[in-house]
Structures are given as C-alpha cells and as structure tokens.
Amino acid sequence: MNISPVIFKSYDIRGIYPEELNEEAAYAIGRAYARRTGANQIVVGSDMRLSGPALKEQFIRGVTDEGANVVDVGLVPIDAVYFAVRKQNYPAGAMITASHNPKEYNGFKLPLPGIGWVRGEEIKTDVENLPPAAAERKGKVAAIDIMPDYIKHVLSFADLSNIKPLKIVVDAGNGMAGKVVPLLEPRLPIKIIPLNFELDGNFPAHPSNPLLPESQTQIRQAVMENKADGGVIFDGDTDRLFFIDERGEFVRADMTLLILAKEFLRREPGAGIVYNAICSKAVPEIIKEWGGRALRSKVGFVNVMETMAREQGIMGGELSAHYSFRDNGYADSGFIAWLILLELLSQSGGPLSAIVKEFQRYHKSDEINIKLTDREEAISKLKAKYADGQQENFDGLTVTYNDWWFNVRPSNTEPLLRITIETPNQAMTAEKQEEILKIIQAVI
C-alpha cells in the first residue's frame, strides 16, 4: 500500500483528497479500525464533503472485510455519531469529515464508548502492519435513521419553555447544520433567518472555518439588517459554532464558555468547568467567583474531554469553540451549546452584548500563527528574554507577569508557532506583540 503518513494527526485522520487521503487509505483505515477495536458493530456517518461517498464506501468495505458489521447512519452532524457510541451504546464509531478545513480536505474521527478515542497517530502503525488477507467471514451493512433519537437527546439539554420568541440568524455555511436546524426549528419558539442551508461540499458561500473574517461578513450584515437578537455560525460538521451579538460583533469563544458555565453552575453548584490553556485569565477567575472548580486543560477537544472525565467536570470549552458536556458522553456538540445559550439569552433580560461585556476584563490578542521550522529555538529565546516571569511548560510555554501573560506553542499538525497574548488594554497588547514577534522573527 502507498498511503501518505501525513494524514495521521494527533487527534484524527485528515488530508487533501485524493493526493494524501484516498480510497486505498480509507479501505486500510477501515480494516485497521475494525481490528484495533474488535467491535462487532461500527456506526459510520459522514458530512456533505464531495469526497465523502467514495471514502465512506471504501472504509465500510474495509470494516466488513474484517468481519465487523456496519450501521450506516448517513449524512449526519459529528455529534450524532458521538451520541450513537456514547449514549446508544454502539461499540465504536467513525465520522468521515474534515470539520472546518477547506473543501479539498477530508478525514476520519474515530470515537469509542466512555471517553475513548482512537487518535490518528495511534492507528498509523496498525495501517502500516495490516496482514494481506482480511477475514473469511464478511460483515453486513444496515442503514438506520438516527436523527429522531438524536434530536430528542439534543433538546433534552434546555428547558424550551424558557426560550422567548427571539429572532436569530443561523448560518449553516452549506454544512450539516443545514440538515439539523430544520429538524430543531419546529420545536423552538424562535424565528430563524436561514443563511446557506443547502448542503454543498464546495462551500460556495464562504469557507467552512467560522473564525475567518470572510466567513463572518454575511452573518454580521444579516444580523444588522434584520435587527436580530443575534446570530450563530456553524462549521461543516457542526462541532464548532460561534456567536454574533445583536450589534453584529463576533463573540470570542472563551466568553461564550463563561456564559454556558454560569448556567451549568446554577444547575450544579460547585461543579468543575474545563477551560484550555489559552483562554482569557478571566475564565478561571470568574468560575472561581461563582463557586465552581476551574479545571485547566491542554489545547485540543480530546484533551478537554479527557480532563473533564478525569476531574469530574460538568462541561468544558476552548477558544476554537468546541463545547463538551458530561451528559453528552463528554463529547462536544454545537447544537447543545446553541440551545442553552438561547435559553440564557431569553432569561437575561438584556442583549447578548451586555452579557459578554460583563466578562471582558482584559484585552486579548487573536491567536497569531508564524510559519517556523525551528520552533524550539524560538521558544528557547523567549524563555531567556522573559526569565523574570513565572514560566511553565504545561502546553507550550506560558509566561505570566502580574499584569499580563503570553503563551507560545507548536502546532501539532503544521510547522507553525501559535502565539496568544493578554494584557490590561489594547495598547499594551500591541506593544507586547511587537516585542515577542521581533524575537521570533530573528529565528526565521
């Protein structure tokens, strides 16, 4: 087999189709996953990416050639597969998706029961060492409609009677939200203004990544033009979502985490809330002020999930806008986060911008990404420059002073150094950013 090793990432499998990830790789991954899990049934779903049908067909062939049965749940959001595995007790699952990546990408996410997860880097060796012959007995394929049970599960997280008739713009981004939101809408008292609900793996409206400014232009305008109470924009497989306030302003994900945390601490006082290492320091401060346990995690939704389970947290989130919930099998779900925020916004008596303003204690830079080969050299120089600060190597390098902090960490998947800076005000953030970038640029 000629399978590109670059597709096997820290958390999942992902690559450009067909140059990196192709049908041959999908077949081998299906066989390897069946052998590694020993599962007699594997739930398989996919999103609307153009290469999905071809990769899914070969993945299923690989699974059944190893004697395992497949439960094909069709076109679904990622958390429907999580639901099948974590709540309906199927022994293994696979979702064919590249999440928010550009249209030429596709990939596999491989969740297991509990907090189990087969990472891409783990299955790489299994793929490389597959025996030439598969099992003599072939597995069978059965198609089921999981959506009615999944929708019921999602709706159980909010008290729908508390939701007021808000006007909300929803941008599905031509992704799976275009299938799910119409199933939720009849149960919700809100008025939805739909954008880009047609499933289309070409992503004609804008990129699938909601963090990109060009992805936000349309929804910002729609919120303002329709005098809406806010908006929500989903990525392709719907595990990530970002909110837009009534003024058309982007709401940073760690601020959304605090909004959700407040509700979960009301439901369960003293509960643990997981946040990642690059969230604003306002996040642990405010969680503690509310009587909760602030649980710090490394960046990455799998790390958030594992920390939540290990430390007995009730929910968690991170700057990339993954929000995970204990009662969702510790998995993330964009739709659960959306419904809870609708409930909170309805009860607040004020606009979303006012809720967010309460939590904005500091000025935080957007994450800066520098393409860099010798990332360790750059980190070493920063350690030396800021030796008088409190340093830790929890997730990359974090240096903390009384009035500001920064984090630099190597990307797990690309030759990038990622930089986050937080200070008391915009001027100081700009000053520290220039200072730090000058040190890094000297290494390039």
Q: With contact defined as beta carbons under 8 Å apart, do 170 and 231 qualify?
A: yes
> Between the CA of residue 336 and those of 113, 192, 346, 369, what are the distances in Å?
19, 17, 16, 30
The 3-state DSSP class for residue 282 equals helix
Q: Cα separation of 335 and 238, whole Å?
A: 8
| Residue numbers annotated as active site | 99
Q: Cα separation of 73 and 143, whole Å?
A: 6
**DSSP letters spanning 376-405:** HHHHHHHHHHTTTSEEE-SSSEEEE-SS-E
User: What does the chain come to in residues?
Assistant: 444
**DSSP letters spanning 13-61:** EEEETTTTS-HHHHHHHHHHHHHHH--SEEEEEE-S-TTHHHHHHHHHH
Q: Cα separation of 201 and 213, whole Å?
A: 20
Q: What are the φ/ψ torsions at residue 223 (nearest 5 degrees)?
A: -60, -45
Q: With contact defined as beta carbons under 8 Å apart, do 315 and 324 qualify?
A: yes
Q: Cα separation of 14 and 20, whole Å?
A: 9
Pairing mode, if any, of strands 69-75 and 141-143? parallel
| Amino acid at residue number 440 | I
Alpha carbon 65 to its chain centroid, in Å, reads 32
Q: With contact defined as beta carbons under 8 Å apart, do 277 and 395 qualify?
A: yes
| Amino acid at residue number 367 | E
Q: Cα separation of 334 and 312, whole Å?
A: 21
Burial-class residue 382 by CB neighbours within 10 Å (0-12, 13-18, 19+).
buried
